[in-house]
Amino acid sequence: MSQKHETWGWMLAVDFFFAGMGAAMLLFAGIAELLTGSNLSTVGILAGAVFIAMGAGLLVLELGRPFQALRVFMNPKAILTFGAWNMSIAIVAGLFLGTSWLEAFPWFGLVGFRKILAIVCIFTGFVVAAYPGALLARHKARPFWNGPGMMVLFLTSSLLTGLSAYVVVGWLSGAAPVIYSAFPAIGAGLCAFQLVIWIGYLWIKSSGTTEREVAAVKRWTSGNFANPFRIGFMFLGTVVPLVLFLIPNGFSTGVAGILAILGGVIMRNLVVYAGQDRTWLPGEEKYRSRLPHGDEAFLQKVWTKQI
């Protein structure tokens, strides 16, 4: 049987990455606008909205039947509907907030309008940044995902990658506003927090929980996920950026941002593919073992007769 119906793939992981990073960019932009009245970066704000849109597009393709995608907005009780509406509102608010700093648009200079957009970006940005973790945490049959800790992991990574995206934009453009001076310290703090909560999450899952959760954690500590997790995410994507963020140098800060973003991509791919470990319903494995795979002799005989 095809894995397509059993697990999600790389498109969902990239959707989680772009949507989370873009949402955090809008969240930070909204906070800066609301508290200081400053523009973090017009390019960064618009990029945040575009990133969420890219993630939404990948999600539609991953779920299948893209021409029926509007149905996801129709069920108010579904978490997918809640996420879809928040992503859509965040995209629109981000585009308006970004263009409100461009003289070519009629809403340029409308401070009150920007404040309203900032509030919308803060709320929807927070929701979309935490949403992927909340979505995965509800899957009780996936032992590695299940539990509130997954939402904290995704929210932290989204905040770190969103802040890092602004750091990289400021580094490359050379036009970083004064508020950017606080970003390296915040980035270092997020890296440290990310390091601690991942160690804690794996420890909790591997001790005092179910056998399925213990087995799932072993893939991260000594199995096929071990090297990408320890070297790619924890070391290159968390520890190294943590150190580089603390060095008062524009180049090291920019590199730290790039590595933190790379770590976010690796983490989301590992987490999504960890969903392959699932708890089977009673009798489900036996039932699936009896399903035809397509190359059985009796099927080949039937196909031959039809031809």
Task: Tell which residue, 135, 38, 137, 54, has the closest CA to residue 90.
Answer: 54
Q: Which domain holds residue 180?
A: 3-279
Domain membership of residue 200 (yes or no) is yes
Helical spans, DSSP H, in the chain: 10-36, 42-63, 79-99, 111-137, 149-173, 183-206, 211-221, 226-227, 240-245, 250-273, 284-289, 297-306
In a domain, 289, yes or no: no
Distance CA 226, CA 242 (A): 21
- For the chain, what is the domain count? 1
Q: Is residue 207 assigned to a domain?
A: yes
Residue 303, in any domain of the structure = no
For the entire predicted model, the pTM comes to: 0.83
Tokens of residue 289, six digits: 């073992």
Residue 296 domain flag: no
- Taking a C-beta distance cutoff of 8 angstroms, is the pair 51, 129 a contact? no
Residue 178 has a pLDDT of: 63
pLDDT of the residue at 80 = 73
Q: Is residue 292 part of a domain?
A: no
Mean pLDDT, contiguous 10-residue spans, the chain (307 residues) = 53 88 95 88 92 83 65 70 87 94 90 94 94 84 84 95 92 71 92 96 83 84 90 96 92 94 94 72 60 60 50
- Domain assignment present for residue 300? The answer is no
- 51: CATH: 1.20.1630.10
Question: Does residue 306 belong to any structural domain of this protein?
Answer: no
